[in-house]
Amino acid sequence: MSEIQQEQVLKLNKIRDAWLPAVEFLFGPAYEKAQFLGFEVSSDIATPEMIAPVSEQPFAYKVKVPARSFTNEVMLLADVIQVLVKGLSPSHDKEDQATALSEGAAVYGAVTAIKQVFGEETLDSYLNALKDNGFAYYDAFSYVAVLLTEDPKAIKKIREMKPLLYQVEKSDFAAAGIEIDRKIADILTYTFRE
């Protein structure tokens, strides 16, 4: 690992250490079997990737972050926050499908952090870019925002029953005591499609 990559990994770890308590405050603690194994920086990828390098530990994961994320502080923060949220309920099987709920929660976490650090104007730019370039993510975020407007602790309540967000089913909302429109519950539990 080059000296630049070492500095980048150090920066990623500092961001993770600073923001993990806030992410857990919003969405609850990490799944008990989840194990973060560290960051890698790669110039060969365009978006962050979670990889499970140890087959004997199915919920252990590393995070690869694109080198280009370091050229924009807003994107770097968004990328790290999104993988922190996903790391609360990491997938252990390639067959696991992300849902609108799991992807939307990751974007919601990033939006919350961007607003806090960079303010409303930067947040508006980020959301406009997301709407234009990644509408599926924007859409998933908007439905999670509706859910959390109705019940700010909804995701925590659901994760107490089902800590892995991608496993949540429509009936789990009612079981957790969350009153939400049936259509929104349907959308949140659909398989996420880019």
pLDDT digit string (tens) for 32-57?
999 999 999 999 999 999 987 667 78
What's the confidence (pLDDT) of residue 53? 67
**Residue 144: C-alpha distances to residues 57, 96, 107, 184, 188 (Å):** 30, 20, 9, 9, 7
Residue 52: predicted pLDDT = 78
CB 35 within 8 A of CB 59: yes
Nearest of 129, 133, 12, 128 to residue 70 by alpha carbon: 12
Answer whether 141's CB lies under 8 Å from 121's CB.
no
Provide the pLDDT for residue 181. 93
Tell me if residue 131 falls in helix, strand or coil. Answer: helix
pLDDT of residue 68: 93
pLDDT below 50 — which residues of the chain? Answer: none
Place of tokens 């994320």: 69
83: amino acid identity, one letter:
V
